[in-house]
């Protein structure tokens, strides 16, 4: 095994899921460190300085969200949360606590790898000075330096808030952002309870950017959680 | 013709009686003519014999009166400690009912059945204690003297001149399983008395002079012998009945006794009791409250109430009627109850009064054709009866204090009015005199009388009549200014004037009373109507209790509470929050007693009169279901006959309402049980099918991969892996659906309602269904502009996903799917339509049932929970879901959600263009 391979700490108590993750991730060239509990996971993260953490929310003992809080005290390592279905609240809490993304069990390895790639890229962009000024996905083109938005050849006029919303999404492209996070970044802490603001502006933005707002291609909704800007790999 | 079969009703009653006896303890009474004949001694002897047989005998209470023989025979028997009751400074020994019930012997000896218990005991009479022992299944031996029998009370009084206060209802004696007569010739008894074997010497001296005269003793002995003989006769009758020997007495005699508020009522009831016993007839006691009777002071009417209760104790059924014509009411009751004999006191009106005004008795005799009418003779002069002061039922003091003053005030007021009216008419007559005939002046006076009768009342109008005659005589009849009369003709004028005045007074005030009664009845009907209307709205026990307590407060005053049992046995205080009219300190002990015995008790009754509230059993179709504890502000408002009847109606309505709620709950629970039963069955079959199929595929494919790896080429391996993947996803879907359903059904899914733009919800669903919908055209038709709806996004998205999934499952790949949303002021309708084969007619409703699939064995997989989940979610949102076939082929599923709130607006301070 090569030492330069990215390290992933998997904090998961179910041995079968560990087994499957280990096999699949190793095949993709990752180094996998397993931890059965939150405490052990924290220890491994501190020692191994991993590139990414995969964290199960339903852990025995120290619970997943507490682990996220602890990690965020001293590290910005990307964290992908695994959770059972129909626990939207848990997912939102985990994301608000600082997790980068989530996956609902059961998930396919393809989905997981896509999330891992997005998170790694995002982390890399944060580490190095982001000089990318042009964002492209499908027909959508945003020139961040000139503050211009195009669909194909057509320039789209956005209001300041719409534009700010779009840039926040672009900044986290591919990652899910909760309503709370969007409100905080776009409107500021005073508006954190006004979830419908996000929906109103997201609706307006869709009307301007999407061909059919009811079948969006760029501005995707994660029901009960938030929004995600589609990201082309 | 003689019917030789036993009467089925009687047999049934007999079976019931025997049934009761099996549970009840047996009562044996040692019956004697007087004190000292050796009843207690005899009882103890038998008890000793029982003890020798090994029966668990205890002595509950025995009065030895320090008689040596008695004390001697008491040796060796277990004697229970008496209950010591402090009463006005003295300590009284009473039978300890609670202790005995706790000790639960097989047989208990309780002396002197007729004894009255001291205040503070559970019952006011000892025979009630005994009754309770019997009900508890304990055998009882007791003693009784003939003069203590209720129905013989008057006879004994006539014979001996002594009024016996402590009496026992005849029913107790009749229901005794055995009666042993202890007989001692009078001479021997007197000898024993002289020897000091009965009383201590001084007492004996006094006794021999008064009660124990030889004549008395002979008479009492005869009474007791006769009474015992009657009993034996009754036993023989019983025997004849069982064996269908029917030719002696025609059954079905029914005796109706009519009482009034006079002192003879109680005597009438006693006589009727004896009469009915000798006839073996069922007997009713009726009291008809006429307007005249309502004029009597409340004390007299309370007395009637007491007599009615007394009659109940003697085994009569009591009825209170109200009407203006007493004989008519009595006759209609007699006809409806198939009465064969009516018994009344002698007519109250005598001589000319009876002839002129008629009497109830005469009317009855004239109109009752097939009914024999019996009149009870009264003893010379009513004096003897007047001596006996009726026992007063405990009355609240508050009302009493103000009452006489109120009456005096009313009297003075009506007299004042009479004076004013007479002065007025006199003034008018004075002005008219000279110009008009004196006959016209009389008319003016009569007008005044009519006015008084109509407006003020009978008393005032009678007084006005008299004053008018006097004034007319004084002022207008020569010689003027004297009461003397020159012309004798005027005497006739006066007489007729007075008579007309009196008759008018009588008639008019009767009309007034009728009107009063009518309005009273109307009010009562209204009260009942209001109660039943409110009760009908009660959904549960707490509602009904609240409604009942409120209405009882409105009608009867005071506070009350309804107590219900847990596990059908133990009464508990309700847990619901109390309302202002609730009674807070009900005595659960008393209530429990009432519940167990289905008898009223507490304040104002014979049982536990010391309690601070009255306790009524609530009886429904299935027996007693609870107890009402009522602390009345004024007891008379509860115990007056018409009020008592009203309360009874209240109670039965409340009981019915409670039972209705119970039944409804039971039906609902049964239904739920049945539903969950079918649900479980279909769940089991569905899961066994739908879980096993993918599982067997997965196991099969995986085992091939593991075991046959060497023989597989790459495409085969890929194929098997894909199969495992697909089937696993299918199972995952199934598991999700079952979990969702469980969550929705379990009520754990509380809606997280928020405002969303509709296109976001539809977009979300389409995004998630992206893969599944590949190769199909999905048309969305939404209202223009941002369309806001308040809903739980996750759940409604799930509805859309399930509907889309359904459309994919049942239509050929590549066929289009349409999503149409329509918004009006109040509703949002979302339709998911396909171009498949449509749905079979008649299965529209069933589609949304759990585990229903159009093609049970078809290739489409899934447990059939998808649509059931949709339905549950839509219903949770207060909407409806439905399905129909579409023009041009295909099915369309739609759901409608209510939109009743204004959509949110942005706050102005948002800086934006």
Residue B422, exposed/middle/buried by CB under 10 A (0-12, 13-18, 19+)? Answer: buried
Q: Which residues of B touch A85 (CB under 8 A)?
A: 736, 739
**H/E segment holding residue B324:** none
Q: What is the C-alpha to C-alpha distance for residues B437 and B840, in angstroms, rounded to an integer?
A: 102
How many of the other CB atoms lie within 10 Å of CB of B796?
27
**A224 in contact with chain B, both atoms CB, cutoff 8 A:** yes
Check pLDDT > 80 for residue B719. yes
**B439 in contact with chain A, both atoms CB, cutoff 8 A:** no
Q: How far is A171 from chain B (nearest CA, A)?
A: 22
> What is the rounded average pLDDT for all residues in chain B?
79
CB nearest to B780's CB, from A160, A200, A214: A214
Check pLDDT > 60 for residue B388. no
Check pLDDT > 60 for residue B860. no
Summarize pLDDT for B726-779 with one digit per residue, the tens: 888 888 888 887 787 777 776 656 778 888 888 888 888 888 888 888 888 888
Q: What 3 state SS string does B519-534 have? A: HHHHHHHHHHHHHHHH
Check pLDDT > 60 for residue B587. yes
Encoded tokens for B608: 């536990």
Q: What is the C-alpha to C-alpha distance for residues B347 and B884, in angstroms, rounded to an integer?
A: 84
**A106 in contact with chain B, both atoms CB, cutoff 8 A:** yes
**Which positions ≥6 away from B367 have C-beta within 8 Å?**
B327, B331
Whether A199 and B755 have beta carbons less than 8 Å apart is answered as yes
Q: What is the C-alpha to C-alpha distance for residues B455 and B457, in angstroms, rounded to an integer?
A: 6
Respond yes or no on whether the N-terminal peptide bond of residue A207 is cis (omega within 30° of 0): no
Whether B632 and B558 have beta carbons less than 8 Å apart is answered as yes
**Chain A, 21-60: which have a CB under 8 Å from a chain B CB?**
none
Q: At what angle do helices B438-455 and B489-537 cross, to 10 degrees?
A: 20
CB nearest to A196's CB, from B739, B768, B904: B904
Using the beta-carbon criterion (under 8 Å), do B736 and A85 form an inter-chain contact?
yes
Check pLDDT > 90 for residue A9. yes
Higher pLDDT, B521 or B48: B48
CB nearest to A161's CB, from B780, B786, B912: B912
Select from A85, A163, A206, A215 the residue whose CB has the most chain B CBs within 10 Å, as the one to mutate to test that interface.
A215
Select from B727, B749, B763, B765 the residue whose CB has the most chain A CBs within 10 Å, as the one to mutate to test that interface.
B763
Label residue B6 by pLDDT band (50, 70, 90). Answer: low
Q: Which residues of B touch A162 (CB under 8 A)?
A: 912
CB nearest to A195's CB, from B754, B757, B794: B754
pLDDT of residue A51: 92
Using the beta-carbon criterion (under 8 Å), do A215 and B766 form an inter-chain contact?
yes
**Quick one: what percent of chain B has pLDDT higher than 70?**
86
Using the beta-carbon criterion (under 8 Å), do B740 and A88 form an inter-chain contact?
no
Nearest partner of A117 among A2, A232, A1, judged by Cα:
A232
Residue B557: beta bridge partners?
Answer: none
Q: How far is CA B265 from CA A75, B259, B269, in A?
A: 102, 5, 6
pLDDT of residue A54: 94
Ranges B235-239, B303-307, B856-860: which has the least confidence: B856-860
The alpha-helical segments, DSSP class H, found in B480-540 are 489-537
Q: Which residues of A touch B783 (CB under 8 A)?
A: none
**B902 in contact with chain A, both atoms CB, cutoff 8 A:** no
Residue B267: beta bridge partners?
Answer: none
Q: What is the C-alpha to C-alpha distance for residues A198 and A194, in angstroms, rounded to an integer?
A: 8
For A223, nearest residue in chain B (alpha carbons): B794
Select from A197, A208, A214 the residue whose CB has the most chain B CBs within 10 Å, as the one to mutate to test that interface.
A214
Label residue B5 by pLDDT band (50, 70, 90). Answer: low
Q: Which residues of A touch B907 (CB under 8 A)?
A: 194
Check pLDDT > 90 for residue A53. yes
Q: Which residues of B touch A84 (CB under 8 A)?
A: none
Q: What is the C-alpha to C-alpha distance for residues B743 and B735, in angstroms, rounded to an integer?
A: 12
Q: How far is B752 from chain A (nearest CA, A)?
A: 9
Q: Which residues of A touch B759 (CB under 8 A)?
A: 203, 206, 213-214
Q: Helix, strand, or coil here: B627?
A: strand
**Chain B, 751-780: which have a CB under 8 Å from a chain A CB?**
752, 754-757, 759-764, 766-768, 778, 780
Summarize pLDDT for B137-182 with one digit per residue, the tens: 889 999 998 888 887 777 777 777 777 778 888 888 888 888 888 8
Q: Which residues of B touch A223 (CB under 8 A)?
A: 761, 764, 768, 793-794, 797
Handedness of CA A223, A226, A229, A230 (dihedral sign): negative
Q: Helix, strand, or coil here: B749?
A: coil
Task: Classify strands B788-791 and A226-229 as parallel, antiparallel or unpaired.
Answer: unpaired
**Quick one: what percent of chain A has pLDDT higher than 90?**
24
**A85 in contact with chain B, both atoms CB, cutoff 8 A:** yes
pLDDT of residue B243: 62
**Quick one: what percent of chain B has pLDDT higher than 90?**
3
Q: What is the C-alpha to C-alpha distance for residues B873 and B746, in angstroms, rounded to an integer?
A: 12
CB nearest to B913's CB, from A159, A197, A224: A159
Q: Between A and B, how many CB-CB pairs are < 8 A?
A: 81
Task: Classify strands A101-104 and A79-83 as parallel, antiparallel or unpaired.
Answer: parallel
Using the beta-carbon criterion (under 8 Å), do B760 and A85 form an inter-chain contact?
no
C-alpha atoms less than 13 angstroms from C-alpha of B210 in its C-beta half-sphere? 9
For A163, nearest residue in chain B (alpha carbons): B912
Select from B743, B765, B767 the residue whose CB has the most chain A CBs within 10 Å, as the one to mutate to test that interface.
B767
**B519 in contact with chain A, both atoms CB, cutoff 8 A:** no
Check pLDDT > 50 for residue B363. yes
Q: Helix, strand, or coil here: B563?
A: strand
Q: What is the C-alpha to C-alpha distance for residues B884 and B789, in angstroms, rounded to an integer?
A: 24
Label residue B402 by pLDDT band (50, 70, 90). Answer: very low
pLDDT of residue A34: 92
pLDDT of residue A69: 93
Encoded tokens for A12: 């998961």
Q: Which residue has the tokens 């982001």?
A: A130
Q: Helix, strand, or coil here: B756?
A: strand
Check pLDDT > 70 for residue B503. yes
Encoded tokens for B104: 């639960």
Q: Which residues of B touch A159 (CB under 8 A)?
A: 912-913
How many of the other CB atoms lie within 10 Å of CB of A211?
12
**A127 in contact with chain B, both atoms CB, cutoff 8 A:** no
Q: What is the C-alpha to C-alpha distance for residues B361 and B685, in angstroms, rounded to an integer?
A: 81
Encoded tokens for B803: 């509907």
Q: What is the C-alpha to C-alpha distance for residues B159 and B152, in angstroms, rounded to an integer?
A: 10
Q: What is the C-alpha to C-alpha distance for residues B833 and B889, in angstroms, rounded to an integer?
A: 10
Average pLDDT over residues B71-82: 85
Q: What is the C-alpha to C-alpha distance for residues B34 and B484, in angstroms, rounded to an integer?
A: 68
Using the beta-carbon criterion (under 8 Å), do B757 and A159 form an inter-chain contact?
no
pLDDT of residue A165: 92
Higher pLDDT, B297 or B720: B720
Residue A79: beta bridge partners?
Answer: A53
Label residue B406 by pLDDT band (50, 70, 90). Answer: low
| Residue B877 phi, psi (nearest 5) | -85, 0
**B794 in contact with chain A, both atoms CB, cutoff 8 A:** yes
Respond yes or no on whether the N-terminal peptide bond of residue B191 is cis (omega within 30° of 0): no
Handedness of CA B44, B50, B54, B60 (dihedral sign): negative
How many of the other CB atoms lie within 10 Å of CB of B397?
7
pLDDT of residue B392: 38
Summarize pLDDT for B437-462 with one digit per residue, the tens: 888 888 888 888 888 888 887 788 88
pLDDT of residue A10: 93
Using the beta-carbon criterion (under 8 Å), do A215 and B778 form an inter-chain contact?
yes
Q: What is the C-alpha to C-alpha distance for residues A177 and A116, in angstroms, rounded to an integer?
A: 16
Ranges A79-88, A184-193, B695-704, B790-799: which has the least confidence: A79-88
Higher pLDDT, B315 or B20: B315
Long-range contacts (CB closer than 8 Å, 24 or more residues apart) made by B719-725: B723/B697, B723/B698, B724/B697, B724/B698, B725/A108
């Amino acid at each position: 095994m090569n030492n330069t391979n990215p390290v992933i700490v998997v904090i998961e108590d179910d041995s079968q899921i560990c087994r499957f993750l280990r096999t699949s991730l190793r095949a993709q060239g990752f180094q996998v460190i397993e931890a059965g509990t939150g405490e052990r996971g924290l220890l491994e993260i501190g020692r191994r300085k991993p590139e990414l953490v995969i964290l199960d929310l339903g852990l025995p003992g120290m619970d997943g969200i507490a682990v996220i809080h602890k990690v965020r005290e001293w590290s910005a390592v990307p964290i992908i949360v695994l959770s059972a279905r129909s626990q939207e609240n848990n997912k939102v809490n985990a994301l608000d606590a600082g997790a980068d993304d989530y996956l609902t069990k059961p998930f396919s390895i393809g989905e997981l790898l896509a999330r891992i790639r997005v998170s790694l890229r995002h982390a890399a962009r944060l580490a190095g000075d982001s000089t990318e000024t042009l964002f492209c996905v499908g027909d959508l083109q945003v020139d961040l330096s000139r503050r211009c938005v195009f669909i194909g050849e057509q320039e789209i006029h956005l209001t300041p808030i719409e534009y700010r919303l779009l840039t926040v999404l672009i900044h986290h492209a591919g990652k899910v952002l909760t309503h709370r996070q969007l409100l905080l970044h776009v409107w500021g802490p005073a508006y954190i309870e006004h979830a419908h603001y996000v929906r109103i502006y997201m609706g307006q933005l869709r009307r301007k950017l999407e061909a059919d707002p009811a079948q969006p291609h760029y501005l995707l909704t994660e029901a009960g959680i938030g929004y995600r800007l589609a990201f082309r790999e | 013709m003689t019917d030789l079969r036993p009467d089925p009703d009687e047999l049934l009653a007999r079976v019931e009686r025997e049934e009761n006896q099996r549970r009840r303890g047996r009562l044996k009474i040692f019956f004697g003519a007087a004190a000292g004949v050796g009843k207690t001694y005899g009882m103890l002897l038998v008890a000793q014999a029982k003890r020798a047989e090994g029966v668990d005998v205890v002595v509950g209470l025995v009065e030895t009166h320090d008689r040596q023989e008695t004390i001697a025979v008491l040796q060796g028997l277990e004697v229970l400690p008496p209950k010591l009751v402090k009463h006005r400074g003295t300590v009284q020994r009473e039978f300890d009912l609670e202790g005995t019930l706790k000790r639960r012997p097989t047989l208990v000896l309780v002396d002197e059945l007729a004894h009255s218990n001291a205040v503070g005991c559970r019952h006011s009479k000892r025979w009630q204690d005994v009754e309770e022992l019997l009900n508890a299944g304990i055998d009882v031996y007791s003693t009784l003297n003939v003069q203590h029998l209720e129905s013989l009370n008057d006879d004994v009084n006539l014979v001996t001149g002594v009024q016996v206060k402590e009496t026992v209802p005849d029913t107790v004696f009749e229901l005794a399983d055995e009666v042993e007569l202890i007989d001692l010739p009078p001479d021997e008894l007197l000898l024993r008395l002289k020897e000091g074997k009965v009383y201590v010497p001084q007492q004996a001296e006094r006794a021999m002079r008064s009660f124990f005269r030889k004549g008395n003793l002979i008479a009492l002995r005869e009474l007791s012998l006769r009474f015992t003989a009657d009993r034996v006769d009754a036993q023989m009758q019983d025997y004849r009945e069982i064996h269908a020997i029917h030719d002696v007495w025609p059954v079905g005699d029914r005796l109706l006794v009519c009482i009034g508020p006079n002192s003879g009522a109680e005597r009438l009831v006693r006589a009727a009791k004896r009469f009915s016993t000798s006839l073996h007839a069922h007997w009713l006691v009726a009291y008809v409250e006429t307007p005249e009777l309502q004029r009597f002071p409340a004390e007299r009417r309370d007395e009637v109430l007491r007599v009615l209760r007394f009659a109940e104790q003697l085994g009569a059924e009591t009825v209170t009627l109200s009407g203006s014509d007493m004989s008519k009411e009595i006759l209609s009751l007699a006809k409806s109850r198939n009465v064969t004999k009516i018994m009344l006191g002698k007519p109250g009106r005598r001589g000319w009064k009876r002839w002129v005004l008629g009497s109830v008795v005469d009317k009855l005799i004239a109109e009752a054709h097939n009914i024999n009418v019996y009149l009870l003779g009264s003893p010379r002069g009513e004096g003897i009866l007047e001596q006996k002061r009726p026992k007063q039922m405990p009355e609240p003091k508050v009302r009493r204090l103000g009452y006489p003053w109120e009456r005096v005030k009313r009297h003075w007021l009506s007299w004042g009015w009479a004076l004013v009216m007479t002065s007025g008419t006199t003034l008018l007559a004075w002005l008219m005199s000279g110009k008009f005939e004196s006959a016209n002046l009389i008319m003016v006076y009569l007008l005044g009388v009519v006015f008084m009768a109509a407006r003020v009342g009978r008393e005032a109008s009678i007084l006005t009549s008299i004053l008018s005659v006097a004034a007319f005589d004084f002022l207008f009849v020569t010689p003027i200014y004297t009461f003397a009369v020159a012309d004798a003709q005027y005497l006739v004028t006066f007489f007729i004037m007075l008579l007309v005045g009196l008759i008018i007074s009588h008639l008019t005030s009767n009309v007034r009373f009728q009107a009063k009664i009518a309005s009273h009845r109307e009010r009562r009907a209204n009260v009942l109507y209001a109660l039943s209307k409110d009760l009908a709205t009660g959904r549960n026990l707490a509602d009904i209790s609240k409604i009942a307590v409120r209405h009882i407060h409105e009608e009867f005053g005071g506070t009350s509470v309804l107590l219900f049992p847990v596990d059908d046995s133990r009464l508990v205080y309700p847990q619901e929050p109390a309302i202002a009219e609730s009674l807070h300190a009900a005595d659960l002990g008393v209530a429990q007693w009432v519940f167990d015995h289905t008898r009223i008790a507490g304040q104002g009754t014979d049982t536990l009169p010391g309690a601070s509230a009255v306790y009524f059993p609530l009886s429904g179709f299935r027996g007693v279901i609870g107890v009402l504890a009522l602390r009345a502000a004024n007891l008379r408002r509860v115990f007056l006959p018409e009020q008592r009847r009203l309360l009874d109606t209240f109670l039965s309505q409340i009981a019915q309402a409670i039972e209705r709620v119970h039944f409804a709950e039971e039906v609902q629970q049964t239904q739920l049980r049945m539903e969950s039963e079918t649900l479980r069955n279909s769940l089991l079959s569905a899961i066994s099918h739908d879980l096993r199929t993918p599982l067997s595929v997965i196991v099969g494919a995986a085992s091939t991969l593991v075991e046959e790896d060497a023989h597989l080429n790459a495409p085969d391996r890929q194929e098997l892996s894909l199969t495992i993947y697909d089937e696993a996803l299918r199972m995952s879907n199934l598991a999700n659906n079952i979990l969702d359903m469980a969550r929705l059904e379990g009520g754990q899914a509380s809606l997280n309602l928020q405002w969303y733009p509709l296109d976001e919800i539809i977009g979300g669903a389409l995004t998630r269904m992206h893969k599944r919908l590949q190769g199909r055209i999905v048309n969305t038709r939404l209202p223009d502009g941002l369309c806001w709806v308040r809903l739980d996004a996750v759940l409604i998205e799930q509805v859309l996903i399930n509907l889309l999934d359904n459309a994919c499952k049942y239509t050929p790949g590549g066929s289009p799917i349409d999503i149409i949303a329509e918004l009006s002021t109040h509703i949002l309708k979302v339709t998911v339509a396909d171009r498949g084969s449509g749905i079979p007619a008649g299965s529209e409703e069933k589609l949304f049932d759990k585990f229903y699939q159009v093609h049970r064995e078809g290739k489409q997989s899934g447990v059939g929970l998808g649509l059931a989940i949709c339905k549950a979610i839509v219903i949770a949102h207060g909407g409806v879901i439905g399905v129909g076939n579409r023009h041009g082929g295909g099915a369309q599923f739609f759901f409608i959600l209510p939109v009743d709130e204004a959509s949110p607006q942005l706050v102005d301070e948002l800086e934006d263009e």
